[in-house]
């Protein structure tokens, strides 16, 4: 099995000088590879960690922690990837918050959690408040994520055309194996 060798960011995304454009550039590459049947374990691990951290951040900010727990079924592999991504980004406040939630989830009744996860979130109204934590950090996680991927030793900053060539080359070599 091969692993995608780099974190690809477009020159255009960097030219915008916005953290969100940088993070979205990475997300676009990860999404393209995933839709091309590249397994999550074949993606660059830090590109995937950035992607997962953004997924977590987006859901918790928009819908709350209970929604994130429900949508992901509190998948422990995903939880571990997010935890290591937050640590690598040096997102101190977010890492503290996330690890607090991890400890809270370990103490949560397996029966109560299973009941919450197997039903639509609307039916979990009595459990959802137990999962929420109103102390979500204000630290700018998008900026930390963008700075981390920009400064990563495996990051390549390329044009959209070069990005497409690199991806197509990787996908065509996958077929040969």
For 40-48, what is the mean pLDDT? 97
| % of the chain beyond a pLDDT of 70 | 97
pLDDT tens figures, 60-83? 999 999 999 999 999 999 999 999
Would you kindly state where each structural domain of the chain is located, as residue ranges? 7-176
pLDDT tens figures, 85-132? 999 999 999 999 999 999 999 988 888 888 889 988 888 778 888 888
Q: What is the pTM of this model?
A: 0.94
SS (H, E, C) the chain: CCCCCCEEEEHHHHHHCCHHHHHHHHHHHHHHHHHCCCCHHHCCHHHHHHHHHHHHHHHHHHHCHHHHHHHHCCCHHHHHHHHHHHHHCCCHHHHHHHHHHHHHHHHCCHHHHHHHHHCCHHHHCCCHHHHCCCCCCCCCHHHHHHHHHHHCCCEEEECHHHHHHHHHHHHHHHHHC
């Amino acid at each position: 099995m091969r692993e995608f060798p780099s974190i690809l960011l477009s020159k255009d995304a960097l030219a915008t000088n916005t953290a969100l454009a940088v993070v979205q550039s990475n997300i676009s590459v990860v999404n393209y590879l995933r839709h091309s049947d590249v397994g999550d374990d074949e993606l660059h691990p830090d590109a995937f960690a950035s992607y997962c951290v953004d997924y977590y951040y987006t859901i918790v900010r928009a819908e709350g922690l209970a929604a994130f727990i429900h949508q992901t079924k509190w998948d422990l592999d995903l939880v571990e990837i997010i935890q290591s991504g937050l640590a690598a980004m040096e997102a101190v406040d977010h890492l503290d918050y996330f690890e607090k939630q991890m400890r809270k989830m370990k103490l949560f009744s397996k029966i109560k959690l299973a009941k919450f996860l197997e039903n639509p979130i609307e039916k979990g109204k009595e459990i959802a408040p137990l999962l929420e934590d109103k102390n979500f950090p204000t630290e700018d996680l998008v900026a930390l994520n963008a700075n981390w991927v920009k400064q990563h030793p495996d990051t390549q900053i390329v044009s959209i055309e070069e990005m497409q060539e690199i991806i197509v080359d990787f996908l065509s070599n996958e077929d040969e194996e």
